[in-house]
Amino acid sequence: MPTLTSLPKAPDDQLRNLGWDWMLGQDTLPYLTNEVVVLTVAEVDAYEEAAKELFDMFVAAGQLVIDQNRFAELGIPDSLVELIKLTWDDDRNIHLYGRFDLAGGIDGKPIKLIEFNADTATCLPETAVVQFAHLKANKRDESQQFNSVFETLTAQFEEILAVNPDLQPSLLLSAMRNFPEDDANVALIGEAAREAGFEVEFDFIDEVEFSEEDGIYWQNPRNSQFEKMDFWFRLVPWEVIADEEPDLIEILTEIVRRRHALILNPAYTLLFQSKHILKILWELYPNHPLLLETDAKPLSGKACVEKVIFGREGANVRVLNADGSERDAVEGDYADYPKVYQEYVDFPQDADGRRYQAGVFYAGAACGLGFRRGGAILNNTASFVGHVVE
């Protein structure tokens, strides 16, 4: 059972003092709780080490997929294979950040990988800023939190600039319309990029212009001129772009090949994002202590979780009992995707039966921790719970 304590003072004033007033909108604060999970130094160290080891394992699994040409298994469209290989083979295409979702890690329960949100991970503002401000508002020392997300993201951007000296430090951030949570995440990424020395602009993806011959452009509303941007971060999943805009994938492949722009996160991130990689990991590292058995068919005689390979926020997840009967399920928009079956493990529960899933951000290094709290299947109704180290 997780140990909880209350930090009763809300972080609003601290956020204003930090200059993060935009975090005070209705889409960012209401689901933050006053309670936080109390962790030991050893528990935090274990989460950090797990994320580091898992990232190396994902890289090995990605290499296996490329070497054995197993893209179709992962649900990756043929149109993306060339761009994935281009970015994988060029070390200048750095993976900016992602989030490992983990079970266990509390009260002696072993840490187990649930999945890696490697492409378009959210919960950045809550993890990096809100829980930090919550800690400071209650006069706790910053050393009592595993949270260097903002600083580590900034360092990643500095590294990206350093290894791409042929490109101008101009970064365009893009998201889809009508997703305020995405806007908040993109805003934080933009702040880190500015800190690293980028000139940063934002435009919704439907307004961005793409050209094989020239690169990526946005229209500056101040003078109506189209301006070339040498770096593009999109909080739009690669598989969505491939499905809805297949011609754009061809253009982006040429843009990357001709070094007109560098795209974050790189296309190879889709290798990590596909939940079929969980099956590949089990092949490579059978019975590894951080992994749960995963297969493309239900596990014989074991309770398991049916997941669609590109689902998000718990959508289209089913929990199956050992006899194959359904224990729990969540509807969603991803039912047509192929599925994998991961051995069931229960999340730590508090006295009220609420379950806790750890999220560890990774940006070249493990850099921050937060928890999502909810029911048997954590979906978009889950709340965010911060932590304190004592």
The pLDDT score that the predictor gives to residue 118 is 97
Q: Does 134 or 23 have the greater pLDDT score?
A: 134
The pLDDT score that the predictor gives to residue 331 is 81
3-state secondary structure 148-214: CHHHHHHHHHHHHHHCCCCCCCEEEEECCCCCHHHHHHHHHHHHHHHHHCCEEEECCHHHCEEECCC
Distance separating alpha carbons of residues 32 and 204, to the nearest angstrom: 27
The pLDDT score that the predictor gives to residue 315 is 76
CA 121 to chain centre: 2
| Six-digit token string for 287 | 């019975």
Q: Flag whether pLDDT at 5 surpasses 80.
A: yes
> Where does the chain show beta strands of DSSP type E?
3-6, 32-39, 98-103, 112-117, 170-174, 199-202, 209-211, 215-219, 226-229, 231-234, 262-264, 294-295, 304-308, 318-320, 326-329, 339-343, 355-362, 366-374, 383-389
Mean pLDDT calculated for residue range 130-156:
94
Question: Tens digits of per-residue pLDDT, 231-245?
Answer: 999 999 999 999 999
The pLDDT score that the predictor gives to residue 25 is 56
Residue 143: band (very low, low, confident or very high) from pLDDT cuts 50, 70, 90: very high
Whether 161 and 198 have beta carbons less than 8 Å apart is answered as: yes
The pairing of beta strand 170-174 with beta strand 383-389: unpaired
Distance separating alpha carbons of residues 36 and 181, to the nearest angstrom: 22
Question: Tens digits of per-residue pLDDT, 61-110?
Answer: 999 999 999 999 999 999 999 999 999 999 999 999 999 999 999 988 99
Q: Does 32 or 293 have the greater pLDDT score?
A: 293
Strands ordered across the beta sheet of 231-234: 199-202, 170-174, 231-234, 262-264
Q: What is the mean pLDDT of the chain?
A: 92
User: Which residues does 71 contact at the CB level (< 8 Å), separation at least 6?
Assistant: 65, 78, 80, 81, 84
Whether 311 and 327 have beta carbons less than 8 Å apart is answered as: no
Q: In sequence order, which ranges of 261-355 are alpha helices (DSSP H)? A: 269-273, 277-284
Distance separating alpha carbons of residues 301 and 252, to the nearest angstrom: 45
The Cα diameter of the chain in Å comes to 65
Q: Flag whether pLDDT at 30 surpasses 50.
A: no
Residue type, 203: D
The residue written with tokens 């005689």 in the block is: 301
Whether 24 and 15 have beta carbons less than 8 Å apart is answered as: yes
Question: Tens digits of per-residue pLDDT, 160-203?
Answer: 999 999 999 999 999 998 877 788 899 999 999 999 999 999 99
Neighbour count for residue 34 (Cβ, 10 Å): 15
Residue type, 118: A
Spatial CA neighbour of 101 closest among 366, 358, 305: 358
Distance separating alpha carbons of residues 190 and 182, to the nearest angstrom: 12
Distance separating alpha carbons of residues 141 and 220, to the nearest angstrom: 42
| Six-digit token string for 256 | 């990357």
The pLDDT score that the predictor gives to residue 130 is 86
Q: Where are the domains of the chain?
A: 4-274+347-389, 293-343
Spatial CA neighbour of 189 closest among 135, 248, 120, 134: 120
Mean pLDDT calculated for residue range 290-310:
96
Q: Flag whether pLDDT at 57 surpasses 90.
A: yes
CA 123 to chain centre: 8
Distance separating alpha carbons of residues 331 and 314, to the nearest angstrom: 9
Residue 21: band (very low, low, confident or very high) from pLDDT cuts 50, 70, 90: low
Q: Flag whether pLDDT at 389 surpasses 70.
A: yes
Whether 158 and 250 have beta carbons less than 8 Å apart is answered as: no
Q: What are phi and psi of 102, to 5 degrees?
A: -130, 140
Q: pLDDT exceeding 90 applies to what percent of the chain?
A: 76
Question: Tens digits of per-residue pLDDT, 244-274?
Answer: 999 999 999 999 999 999 999 999 999 999 9
Q: Flag whether pLDDT at 18 surpasses 70.
A: no
User: String of b and e for 150-178 (b: at least 16 CB within 10 Å)?
Assistant: bebbbbbbeebbeebeebebbbbbbbeee
Residues in the chain: 390
Mean pLDDT calculated for residue range 323-352:
88
The pLDDT score that the predictor gives to residue 210 is 97
